[in-house]
Amino acid sequence: MRGLIKVGEEEQQRRDNFGEEDRESLKKEYNRVVKLKNFYESILETQEEMICRYLPDTTLTYVNEAYCRRLNRSKKELLGKKFLEFVPGGEREKIIQKINNLTPENPSCRAKYTVGLKDGEKAYQEWTDYGIFDEEGRLIEVQGVGRDITEQKRIRERLNNQKRIITELHKVALELGKAESEEEVCRLTVRAAENLLKYDICIVGLVRGDKIVPAASSGKLPPGAEQTMSTEEGIAGRTFRENTSLLVKDVEARPEASPARDSFKSGISIPIKNYGVFQAAAGEKAAFDREDLKLAELLISHTAAALDQIHLKEEILYKSYHDELTGLYNRRFFNKEMERLNTERQLPLSIIMVDINGLKVVNDTFGHEMGDRVLLKAAGLLKRALRQEDILARWAGDEFIILLPQTGPEEAQKIVKRINSLCQEAQVNDILFISLGVGAASKTDPGESLEETIKQADNNMYKNKLSSGRQAKVKLINNFLKSLTEKSHESQQHNQRISSLAGKLGKRIGLSGREIEELALLAVIHDIGKTSIPEKILMKEGYLTWREWELMQKHAARGYKIASATEDYSAVAREILFHHEHWDGNGYPDGLRGRDIPLLARIIAPVDAYVTMTGYRSYQDIRSKSEAVREIKEKAGSQFDPGLVSEFTEILE
């Protein structure tokens, strides 16, 4: 008690000795410090950097205007508050630890952390803190200088995200480039979309006919989504039809939308060229923006390229093993199948060789386009005649070959009969029909050569063709003549008149019996090449145009080709070719003159002219007998052989 009284007396004594002068000096010092503090803080207020001071427990004692702006709070809302209140809980321990590590020897530290703003947004800040210590080295306050790095962080995140996207797309492109089927491409597309986009579900649909069929999806499809959809329906159908990407921010606002689940509120829809559609959907409105759409389009461009590659490979593979015109297997594929099936287990092994009769005549008369129609008709006929396991290929221009595994001679002949039976009803048009030469052979002994079997089948086909081919060509020419009669209205009596008068002239000048027969044949078929001339030209009233006349002149050469291809008519083929040549060399097709023109052609020329002038023809009036004779005489020595005209007119008179 005495000690306490003594201390109190000393303190009182010290105060009594503290004079007015000392108090005034202390007051001046205080005012000076306050002015310095205010001056210092006024400078801090103008700084762009955020500046604050806080106690070791993070209670803020000072903040400048920049700090207030960044946190979107007033000084009143900040001073006296602990700034850790604005930092997410996960980052607080890191900040406290850095503050506790401040010492006079290590008075500063740096930290980056997230700060919550008043409007609920977040900012990212970088701080450098400096500790203020007392004489005993205890931390009494911290001054921090900070800057907002939100935009830099977002830029860095975007760059990192773009780098990730580029890496992912590069990876996807490599994987898609190795894909071997459409299904694999679709699965890889969905997997890549999961790493690039945020959605509730995505679907890749491929077009099959007029339907869009789901080929791959993320997770289990909701009821209804696994069903096919018409290309005329919904957003997917519109995307495919218009070949345009769609960004749907509000499904309810799109009348054509038919979402697989009512909870889907927004989505994107992108065409995959003419292959199909990619769609992604989310349960909230405006879940996707233009950036998402562009990113998805970039992904789908890789998908489309992969599908292009697969289809190109399939097309190349198909063309390497198939005939381009008929779609049947080609010789290359057939040879591979022969190697595969030429085993004892497949015996007996039969071969059928097939050849189209008269195809050259068709090509020469009507052109190769019509010949292609005959080939296609024959190919369809053969496919109908065969079994599923049989292998049919186009062997050469007009030849087909059939491989019949585990088929003996009797069964092979049944198939030959089926082919011949179908030929009876195979008509291409009113003139053209299908006639086939068919031959079969069988390999029954493992030691036999399959090449010998093919050769035997080819020989048998050739034997069959000798008879069937000749009959087919005769029938074909008869059809030509029938068609010509119908197109030109030149009756059978017309040809008979030519044949009769030409025969009389031939006998008069001393032709042999064989020559008389050939002349009679020439009289009937000399204009057979006109079969390929359109009826509107043959029946045209008045004169022909130059183009029409050039086409008309080609009938002699076409008639020559038809007759040359047929053994029964080949004897007069040359006469058909030159029956419009003139004695003076002004005829066609080769401009022959005088006796260079075959005799039978020189005979048929004035006879044909006389019968035509005195009978019906569309482009000239009928002449009287005397008028026709006078005109023929006038053209003796120019168009006609003068010696033959003299003999012919004597017959007529």
Q: Which CATH number fits domain 156-318: 3.40.640.10, 3.30.450.40, 3.40.50.10070, 3.40.50.300?
A: 3.30.450.40
Mean pLDDT of 354-358: 91
- The pLDDT tens digits of the residues spanning 199-209 come to 888 899 999 99
Is the pLDDT at 568 greater than 50? The verdict is yes
Q: Contact 400/382 with Cβ under 8 angstroms?
A: yes
Residue 307's contacts (CB-CB under 8 Å, 6 or more residues apart) are 182, 185, 272, 273, 275
pLDDT at 45 over 60: yes
Please report, for residues 97, 408, 414, 481, the alpha-carbon distance to residue 436 in angstroms, rounded to integers and kept in the order given: 98, 22, 16, 22
Query: What local confidence, expressed as pLDDT, does residue 480 receive?
Result: 74
The rounded distance, in Å, linking the Cα atoms of 514 and 510 is 12
Please state, in angstroms and rounded to a whole number, the distance separating the CA atoms of residues 71 and 114: 11
Give the right CATH number for 43-148 from 3.40.50.720, 3.30.450.20, 2.50.20.10, 3.90.480.20: 3.30.450.20
CA distance 420 to 391: 18
pLDDT band at 3 (very low <50, low <70, confident <90, very high): very low
| pLDDT above 80: residue 538 | no
Q: Which two tokens stand for residue 430?
A: 């009113």
Say if CB 379 and CB 545 are below 8 A apart. Answer: no
Q: Are 89 and 95 in contact (CB under 8 A)?
A: no
pLDDT score for 82 = 92
Pairing of strands 122-133, 108-116: antiparallel
pLDDT at position 493, please? 72
Q: Which of 114, 67, 68, 120 shows the shortest CA–CA distance to 88? A: 114
Positions of E strands within 360-404 = 391-394, 399-404
- For 258, which DSSP code? -
Q: Which pLDDT score is estimated for 173?
A: 84
- What is the band of 339 on the pLDDT scale with cuts at 50, 70, 90? very high
Is the pLDDT assigned to residue 385 strictly greater than 90? yes
What type of residue is 327?
Answer: G
pLDDT at 27: 67
pLDDT the model gives residue 468: 82
The tens digit of pLDDT for each residue in 467-489 reads 887 787 778 777 777 777 666 65
CATH superfamily of this structure's domain 490-652: Hypothetical protein af1432 (1.10.3210.10)
Distance CA 607, CA 503 (A): 10
Token digits for 44?
A: 């801090």
pLDDT bucket at 325, cuts 50 / 70 / 90 = very high
Judged by average pLDDT, the poorest of 54-68, 114-128, 573-587 is 114-128
Average pLDDT over residues 573-579: 93
Closest CA to 319 of 329, 308, 306: 329
pLDDT at residue 17 in the model: 58
**To the nearest 10°, the Cα dihedral for 167, 173, 174, 178?**
160
Strands laid side by side in the 399-404 sheet: 391-394, 399-404, 349-356, 436-443
pLDDT (tens digit, 9 = 90+) per residue, 592-630?
Answer: 999 999 999 999 999 999 988 887 554 456 788 888 899
Residue range(s) occupied by CATH 3.30.450.40 in the chain: 156-318
Q: Rounded CA gap, 236 and 213, in Å?
A: 11
Q: Cβ contacts of residue 175 below 8 Å, gap of 6+?
A: 188
What proportion of the chain, given as a percentage, has pLDDT over 90? 47
- Radius of gyration of the chain measured on its C-alpha atoms: 51
Higher pLDDT, residue 163 or 95:
95
pLDDT > 60? residue 1 = no
- Tell me the pLDDT of the chain averaged across its residues: 86
Q: Residues 223-244: pLDDT tens digits? A: 555 568 888 888 889 999 999 9
Could you tell me the pLDDT band of residue 11, with boundaries at 50, 70 and 90?
A: low
Mean pLDDT, rounded, for 131-156: 89
Residues of each domain in the chain carrying CATH 1.10.3210.10 = 490-652
C-alpha neighbours within 13 Å on the C-beta side of residue 614: 20
Per residue in 286-316, pLDDT tens?
899 999 999 999 999 999 999 999 999 999 9
- CATH 3.30.70.270 occupies which residues in the chain? 331-478
User: Where are the domain boundaries for CATH 3.30.450.20 in the chain?
Assistant: 43-148
**Which segments within 45-193 are labelled E, that is strand?**
50-54, 60-63, 108-116, 122-133, 139-148
Architecture of domain 331-478: 2-Layer Sandwich (3.30)
User: What is the average pLDDT across 395-407?
Assistant: 94
Instruction: Point out the least confidently predicted range of 125-139, 184-198, 320-334, 460-474.
Output: 460-474
| Confidence band of 352 (pLDDT split at 50, 70, 90) | very high
What CA–CA distances, in Å, run from 543 to 221, 548, 553, 580, 619?
Answer: 74, 9, 14, 18, 6
| Alpha-carbon span 580 to 248, nearest angstrom | 76
**Range 152-175 average pLDDT:** 81
